[in-house]
Amino acid sequence: MTAAAALKATPHNTSILFTLPLELREVIYDYVFGHRTILFPRPDDPRPKHLHPRLLRTCKVIRAEALPRFYKCTTLRAEWWSFPQAVQWLMHKDEDVRKMICHVEYLMPAFAHREGDDEKKMAETEKWALMLRTFDMEEKGIVLREGVLRVEALKG
């Protein structure tokens, strides 16, 4: 549902937020979200697995308006042990939502680099990991825009 459709379909006379112009609400959303990095949790992490801020769970209108702003300002980060959870999470997102995502990082384990590897060798390893992770996702029907997925080595 688009933000305009949600705004028309939802009674919203209880919040002063909706009396503000959309452009101003978008500035507010950008301020609320800031630039953040969200780490996909470990599979054995007992904490709730919500990646979205509570603001996005308040109503359909705010979700429709603010979700693109959230993904514009947010880096989703998966370490080697949480990459399968990241893929599962992405599989359950609509194609429209996946198109909003601007930054996904995959952090390779430090042991992927041997001591003494030069920068060129490290860059080749990261490029290979990027191709492999892209293939892993595409095999499950997940296609992100070019340049969204980035690989970086953990410093060990």
Instruction: Report pTM.
Output: 0.76
Delimit the domains of the chain by residue range.
3-153
The pLDDT assigned to 27 comes to 94
Q: Is 92 exposed, middle or buried (0-12, 13-18, 19+ CB in 10 A)?
A: exposed
Residue 62 pLDDT: 93
From the number of C-beta atoms within 10 Å of its C-beta (0-12, 13-18, 19+), residue 90 rates as: buried
With CA atoms as reference, report the closest residue to 86 among 104, 111, 73, 100.
104
Report the distance separating Cα 49 and Cα 63, nearest Å: 18
Consecutive 10-residue runs of the chain (156 residues): their mean pLDDT?
61 77 94 89 73 88 94 90 87 92 87 64 82 90 90 73
Q: So what's the pLDDT on residue 1? A: 62
| pLDDT at res. 69 | 94
pLDDT of residue 155: 63
Q: What is the pLDDT of residue 114?
A: 60
